[in-house]
């Protein structure tokens, strides 16, 4: 049976306590905006329609939401005068878009609850529909319920109302069962109830929660479904709560990966974004962040102190103290320590990018190695080739970027500069300190540094009285006078 569920996500509030130019629901947690987490949970309920109510910075928020869920309906609430008004705006937009009444079940959720899980929302909707209620509250028990709407029950334990903190009596403030904010409605009842919500309360707002009382007065069934894991419904109002929820979500993500067979040596210093995918037997060492859409293959060891964003790491690869973004690392490859992988880096099977090496738009072949102190930009390095220590791929001529191509099984020596565009053939080589400006044919050895000249006695003549000169004089006094090392005969 096709779902007849409509979900309304409220995201019109300003989120002033964030003190940010970025709207609250757009702040990221575990690599996604808060509202993206909510929409992912909403999608898991397979709703027929999803409506988001936007207000503050509606262009920015609306564009973000539509990029995540293209067929979402946006409803604009001009003035934030309460959750009841926000839902009224959403229902009006729905009616206008379908030119008919809303039917089935309507769920209202908030856009700032990043820990919300699809399974919980699904279970809540199923229970609401099975109980055939007019209104269901997703409630929870909180040790400190301050600020929340309280779920008021009668002597039989039946729900009679939700009372907001500011409107609650002293006795009602003692209630620890709170309204999470997530409510489910029978659509027909909701349509009847919305125009009857008033704003005669402490905040002068239209409270959606008044629908509970309205249903009771009409003799309809209301009830609450108590969630054990209240944090799933918690919102972040300021940056302190944002960090708390972020840490908790990370703890949950890291725990899930450990249960799925990933070794995490120090969960407290390991950060894994929601969209990261790890294979079994991956090992993560302390101080590691795996961000964005990073994917790590079986038996890979990542860390310590490594940050990888949107990277693909092969089976059995080793990444030590590395910072990488949009890089693809082959199986059994070795990277680090202190390597900087910029977008477009590809390293082949068993390849190596070593210490203090920066790479960008660089395709480094299977078994190829760039072991020490180098910059490799806009380059292709063939299979089995070894690049000497301290090599610079000079890709920029001051106007445009150019590529360097080095063939298979080439051996280039230390302190080389490849001035792009330039090509080095298969099996070619270079001498130390070579500046390669012209193409090198396959199998050739390119040498560009001039022959060495020794100017004998230069220090003593030109730097008399210095420690350098004294050291030179002392050494010369002890050495064989016949061979003075001179080139000048």
Of 211 and 404, CB closest to Ca ion:
404
Only one of the segments 10-18, 287-295, 317-325, 405-413 lies at the binding site for ligand UD1 (rule: CB under 6 A); that segment is: 10-18
164 binds ligand UD1 (CB under 6 A): yes
Q: Is 414 in the site for ligand UD1 (CB under 6 A)?
A: no
Active-site residue 37, yes or no?
no
What minimum distance in Å lies between the beta carbon of 85 and ligand UD1?
5
Nearer to ligand UD1, 55 or 350 (CB): 55
Question: What is the helix, strand, coil percentage profile of the chain, to 5?
Answer: 25, 30, 45
| Residues 397-436 interacting with Ca ion (rule: CB under 5 A) | 421-422
Closest CA to 250 of 308, 295, 290, 309: 290
208 binds, among Ca ion, ligand UD1, none (CB under 5 to 8 A by kind): ligand UD1
Joined tokens for residue 299: 């038996």
How many of the chain's residues bind ligand UD1 (CB under 6 A)?
27
Take residue 202 and report the two structure tokens written for it. 């402490």
φ, ψ of residue 252 to 5 degrees: the values are -70, -40
Interaction partner, residue 62 (Ca ion, ligand UD1, none; CB < 5-8 Å by kind): none
CA dist 353 and 284 (Å) reads 19
User: How many beta carbons lie within 10 A of that of residue 435, not counting itself?
Assistant: 15
Q: Which of 27, 37, 323, 372 is catalytic?
A: 372
Query: Per the structure block, which two tokens stand in for 105?
Result: 């079940």
Residue 339 is a binding residue for ligand UD1 (CB under 6 A):
no
Which listed option, ligand UD1, Ca ion, none, makes contact with residue 149 (CB within 5 to 8 Å by class)?
Answer: ligand UD1
By the 8 A CB rule, do 94 and 48 touch? no
Query: Among 159, 208, 276, 347, which residue sits at the site for ligand UD1 (rule: CB under 6 A)?
Result: 208
Q: Which two tokens stand for residue 237?
A: 């109002």
Q: Which residue, 33, 64, 31, 37, is CA-closest to 276?
A: 31
| CA quadruple 28, 30, 34, 36: dihedral sign | positive
What length does the chain have? 489
Residue among 31, 47, 82, 223 that touches ligand UD1 (CB under 6 A): 82
Closer of 53 and 420 to ligand UD1 (Cβ): 53
- x-or-dash pattern for ligand UD1, window 120-149, by CB under 6 A? ----------------------------xx
Q: Does 77 bind ligand UD1 (CB under 6 A)?
A: yes
- Residue among 310, 308, 312 at smallest CA distance from 331: 312
* Contact pick of 60, 80, 386, 459 for ligand UD1 (by CB under 6 A): 80
Q: Decide if 264 contacts 289 (C-beta within 8 A).
A: no
Output the six-digit token pair for 22.
Answer: 């970025």
Residue 159 contacts which entry, ligand UD1, Ca ion, none (Cβ below 5-8 A, type-dependent): none
SS3 123: helix
| Interface positions with Ca ion (CB under 5 A) | 421-422
Query: Hey, which residues are catalytic here?
Result: 372
Binding residues (CB under 6 A) for ligand UD1: these are 10-13, 53, 77, 80-83, 85-86, 110-112, 148-149, 162, 164, 178-181, 207-209, 235
């Amino acid at each position: 049976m096709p779902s007849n569920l409509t979900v309304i996500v409220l995201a019109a509030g300003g989120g002033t306590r964030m003190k940010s130019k970025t709207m609250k629901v757009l702040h990221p947690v575990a690599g996604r905006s808060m509202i993206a987490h909510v929409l992912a949970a909403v999608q898991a309920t397979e709703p027929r329609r999803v409506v988001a109510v936007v207000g503050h910075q509606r262009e920015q928020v609306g564009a973000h939401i539509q990029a995540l869920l293209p067929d979402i309906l946006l409803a604009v609430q001009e003035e934030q005068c309460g959750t009841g008004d926000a839902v009224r705006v959403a229902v009006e937009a729905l009616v206008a878009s379908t030119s008919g009444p809303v039917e089935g079940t309507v769920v209202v959720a908030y856009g700032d609850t990043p820990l919300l899980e699809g399974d919980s929302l699904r279970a809540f909707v199923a229970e609401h529909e099975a109980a055939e209620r007019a209104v269901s509250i997703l409630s929870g028990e909180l040790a400190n319920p301050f600020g929340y709407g309280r779920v008021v029950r009668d002597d039989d334990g039946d729900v009679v109302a939700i009372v907001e903190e500011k409107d609650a009596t002293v006795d009602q403030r003692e209630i620890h069962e709170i309204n999470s904010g997530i409510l489910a409605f029978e659509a027909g009842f909701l349509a009847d109830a919305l125009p009857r919500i008033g704003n005669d309360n402490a905040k002068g707002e239209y409270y959606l929660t008044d629908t509970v009382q309205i249903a009771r007065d009409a003799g309809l069934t209301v009830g609450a479904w108590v969630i054990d894991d209240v944090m799933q419904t918690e919102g972040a109002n300021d940056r302190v709560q944002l960090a708390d929820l972020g840490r908790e979500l990370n703890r949950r993500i890291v725990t899930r990966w450990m249960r799925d067979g990933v070794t995490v040596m120090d969960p407290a210093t390991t950060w894994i974004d929601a969209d990261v995918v790890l294979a079994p037997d991956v090992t993560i060492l302390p101080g590691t962040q795996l961000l964005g859409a990073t994917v790590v293959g079986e038996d890979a060891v990542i860390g310590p102190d490594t940050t990888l964003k949107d990277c693909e790491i092969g089976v059995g690869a080793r990444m030590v103290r590395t910072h990488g973004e949009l890089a693809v690392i082959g199986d059994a490859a070795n990277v680090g320590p202190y390597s900087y992988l910029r977008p477009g880096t590809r390293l082949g099977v068993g390849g190596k990018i070593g210490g203090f090496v920066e790479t960008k738009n660089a395709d480094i072949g299977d078994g190829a190695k760039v072991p020490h102190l180098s910059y490799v930009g806009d380059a292709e390095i063939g299979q089995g080739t070894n690049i000497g220590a301290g090599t610079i791929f000079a890709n920029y001529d001051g106007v445009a970027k150019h590529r360097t191509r080095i063939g298979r099984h080439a051996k280039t020596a230390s302190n080389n500069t490849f001035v792009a565009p330039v090509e080095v053939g298969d099996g070619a080589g270079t001498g130390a300190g070579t500046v390669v400006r012209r193409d090198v044919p396959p199998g050739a050895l390119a040498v560009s540094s001039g022959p060495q000249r020794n100017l004998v006695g230069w220090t003593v003549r030109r730097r008399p009285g210095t420690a350098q000169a004294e050291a030179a004089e002392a050494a010369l006094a002890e050495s064989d006078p016949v061979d003075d090392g001179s080139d000048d005969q």
